[in-house]
Amino acid sequence: MGNFFHQMRVSSALLKRLQSHQRAIASVNVDGSRSFTTTEGHRPTIVHKRSIDILHDPWFNKGTAFSMTERDRLDLRGLLPPNVMSSEQQIERFMADLKRLQLSARDGPSDPYSLAKWRILNRLHDRNETMYYKVLIDNIEEYAPIVYTPTVGLVCQKYSGLFRRPRGMYFSAEDRGEMMSMVYNWPADQVDMIVVTDGSRILGLGDLGVQGIGIAIGKLDLYVAAAGINPQRVLPVMIDVGTNNEKLLEDPLYLGLQEHRLDGEEYIAVIDEFMEAVFTRWPHVIVQFEDFQSKWAFKLLQRYRNEYRMFNDDVQGTAGVALAGLLGAVRAQGRPMIDFPKMKIVVAGAGSAGIGVLNAARKTMARMLGDTDIAFESARSQFWVVDANGLITEARENIDPDARPFARKVKEIERQGLTEGAKLVEVVRQVKPDVLLGLSAVGGLFSKEVLEALKGSTSTRPAIFAMSNPTKNAECTPEEAFSIVGDNIIFGSGSPFNNVDLGNGHVGHSNQANNMFLFPGIGLGTLLSGSKVVSDGMLQAAAECLAAYMTEEEVLQGIIYPSISRIRDITKEVAAAVIKEAIEEDLAEGYREIDARELQKLTEDEIRTYVMNNMWSPEYPTLVYKKE
Ligand SMILES: NC(=O)c1ccc[n+]([C@@H]2O[C@H](COP(=O)([O-])OP(=O)(O)OC[C@H]3O[C@@H](n4cnc5c(N)ncnc54)[C@H](O)[C@@H]3O)[C@@H](O)[C@H]2O)c1
Ligand SMILES: O=C(O)C[C@H](O)C(=O)O
Ligand SMILES: [Mg+2]
């Protein structure tokens, strides 16, 4: 018996070894790599690829389930959102998302087709970039609202569910001290354009944390489609310093750091480290800051704009687009642009966008009035600024320092029956403005009552700019504006709306007043000029180029911005204007084969040709394999 059990014991031990050995031999992978497993647990699978290659290989990719040690070992740190997910959580997220989409297909409020179109376009983007951009460029009017505002807002809100293949880099608070090295995990040795966000104010949707990466991706889609930046040289970046969005903090499927936002010096240190890392690796890159909450938007712009090639699209891009619209509104009245300083402008919203617009408009008025201190001071009295606490006056306690230059003098407004904190409708009623401009993120703020009050405007052609995004945050729709204020108004909005049929063959033109008409040209012009900074003069030249782009006939019809189908052409013109200004300011240092001296010799037409010759188009290159 003993012998029998002994033999049994021996054979079972032997059997176990044989089985494990058999399993080892049996798991040779299809690509020839071998996986060794033992009964004590899993030994590693030998792979012959790392970094982006392994993320893009459906055989080995684990996505958010790569552990932190694997991420370090396989050069994946920074290429994935920071939260490590279990495979169960991944499946749970996918199924929840699928069910959520099915719900939205039935509940109706969100356009289910827009998200479905985004998914299909996103899959193409991951499979074949040349084809993706050819589809986008050839159908820009139909698909810009899908890859950009407004659908991109929905994508950001649902990003944790929609996330499939990571795109871009994630620098998180947990990467402090690592950024200078992890930046080399990005496969491209040349990067021309970076769009970076910290997710703190995505469109008018507030703090979306790591999900804000969608806005950086959407903006760069326009850099490629409108400015012809080579898609292999763009990099979307998310700086994940946590989120104050309680819903995301509690969401088990959220992909970002589930802690409250860093603030103060700790926050600045993270951004500093990021900027140093990217400009060390790519000294000629241009970094566009996007959708940072106002308090940091201004501070970081001032901190970096003289040291790095950077600009803030919400502050500076929007300022230029709005200025072009305001000048267009003057032209649409059949008046010369020099009449601009006479306009009375009511602005609802004193955040990163609103203040940016006010500063640019006031400087332009002052320049038109002789560019003196007196002119600058007098221009101030053309603006009335209303924020969440009503009209901003010098009587306001704890006034935001960025808004202080636009605080109305109490004595001045008493004559108009206005006081500190006066409601928007009261301000419109008393001021009778030429322009009502919204950058408040409050949908429907220009209520029927406010629009009725605007009928009392002293302007022959009042202008309404409902610039907040996405669509549901627009201060009013074109239908409301034209039907209440009248057929003769000028209308612009941040998100696209259809034109309004006014009857009798008349059309109420719904312009898209969006910074997409400037940021691609600002980036492209800065790149091709070789300027080390984005100067105020370059930004002003961009705005004035957009303002002058429309013909007299178009403007008199109420068309003050181009159709998005012309975005490649306006971007070329804006870029040329930016280069010309950089040359005049002696900032242009040249780009690739063309040096500063040669740039200076170019005529305006030659600058345009230079721009066009450097705009990438979606044509397949011929490929030849060469062993690395
Ligand atoms: N069209 C464009 O190109 C463009 C460009 C940039 C920003 N935007 C949009 O502008 C909006 C604001 O962006 P931001 O970065 O300035 O945001 P922000 O949060 O920094 O500022 C919002 C401002 O609106 C004010 N506000 C809030 N409620 C108000 C109310 N009831 N009445 C009047 N003012 C009110 C706030 O006090 C604040 O001053 C967002 O929807 C954004 O998408 C559009
Ligand atoms: O993203 C946009 O459409 C414009 C702007 O940058 C915004 O923040 O709303
Ligand atoms: Mg923005």
3 is in an annotated binding site: no
* Residues of the chain scoring pLDDT < 70: 1-44, 58-59, 91, 94-112, 624-628
- Considering only CA atoms, which residue is closest to atom 9 of ligand 2? 203
Residue 159 annotated in active site: no
pLDDT of 91 reads 67
314 is in an annotated binding site: yes
Residue 10 Cα to ligand 1 middle (Å)? 77
Beta bridge partners of 512: 493
pLDDT of 164 reads 76
Residue 197, exposed/middle/buried by CB under 10 A (0-12, 13-18, 19+)?
buried
Residue 352 alpha carbon, nearest atom of ligand 1: 16
Catalogue the E-assigned strands of 478-596: 490-493, 500-503, 506-508, 510-512, 590-591, 594-595
pLDDT of 61 reads 75
pLDDT of 94 reads 60
Strands 169-172 and 193-197: unpaired
Q: Does the ipTM exceed 0.85?
A: yes
- Considering only CA atoms, which residue is closest to atom 2 of ligand 2? 149
Residue 219 annotated in active site: yes
Q: Which residues does 435 contact at the CB level (< 8 Å), separation at least 6?
A: 326, 329, 343, 344, 345, 346, 459, 462, 463, 464, 465
**Whole-number Cα distances in Å, 545 to 264, 333, 338, 375, 549:** 38, 19, 16, 24, 6
Contact criterion met (CB below 8 Å) for 165 and 126: yes
Residue 62 Cα to ligand 3 middle (Å)? 32
Q: What is the distance between the alpha carbons of residues 321 and 329, in angstroms, rounded to a whole number?
A: 12
Active-site residue identified among 62, 133, 143, 219: 219
514 is in an annotated binding site: yes
pLDDT of 180 reads 98
Q: List, chain by chain if needed, residues with CB within 6 Å of any ligand 1 atom.
A: 201, 203-204, 294, 314, 318, 321, 348-354, 386-388, 424, 439-442, 445, 467-469, 473, 494, 513-515
Q: List, chain by chain if needed, residues with CB within 6 Å of any ligand 2 atom.
A: 149, 203, 291, 313-314, 469, 494, 514-515
579-582 contacts: CB < 8 A, separation 24 or more?
A: 579/525, 579/528, 579/529, 579/607, 579/610, 579/611, 580/541, 580/604, 580/607, 581/535, 581/537, 581/538, 581/540, 581/541, 582/525, 582/526, 582/529, 582/530, 582/531, 582/535, 582/538
Residue 350 Cα to ligand 1 middle (Å)? 7
Amino acid 489 reads I
Q: What is the distance between the alpha carbons of residues 402 and 319, in angstroms, rounded to a whole number?
A: 14
Amino acid 382 reads Q
Q: What is the distance between the alpha carbons of residues 554 and 558, in angstroms, rounded to a whole number?
A: 7
Say what angle helices 567-584 and 536-549 make with each other, to 10 degrees: 140
Residue 599 Cα to ligand 3 middle (Å)? 32
